[in-house]
Amino acid sequence: MTALIRINQEGQFSEIAEGDAVASALPVGDVASHDQITQLLDLSTVRLQVDGFVDGRGFTVARQLRLLGFAGVIEVIGDLLPDQLPMAAASGIDAILIRAEHAGRCEESQWRLKSRDKNRFGYQRSVA
């Protein structure tokens, strides 16, 4: 069984087994309507699977869940990048789960440095 690395909002790593996490994950590509998002509100944990760091739909679904009052845990499974941790936290994501191999390339210290800038959300700063 392959290991996943859970990264919390502070950029701290912890290892978990992949099996249950992936089996219970909802691919964000399968979320096609607002009604599907509202069906998740009664769950205690929502795991969203993204295709990788270029797939921003996980941020969008997490934000929509929080705006609808979801108070549970939101985890995103996919090989995101350290730069994306502040955006994930601002979207309401509690943890990111990445493959152990990816964690070898994006070490824990990189996630911790990037997580300090929690006020940054988005790819571009305002010019105003």
Domains and CATH numbers, the chain: 3-18+25-104 (3.20.20)
Model confidence, pTM? 0.85
State residue 44's pLDDT score. Answer: 95
Task: Say what the pLDDT of residue 42 is.
Answer: 95
| Residues contacting residue 112 through CB under 8 Å, at least 6 positions apart | 10, 11, 12
- Alpha-carbon span 1 to 51, nearest angstrom: 20
Q: What pLDDT, on the 0 to 100 scale, is given for residue 122?
A: 53
- Mean pLDDT for each consecutive 10-residue tract of the chain (128 residues)? 86 84 87 92 96 92 96 96 93 95 90 60 50
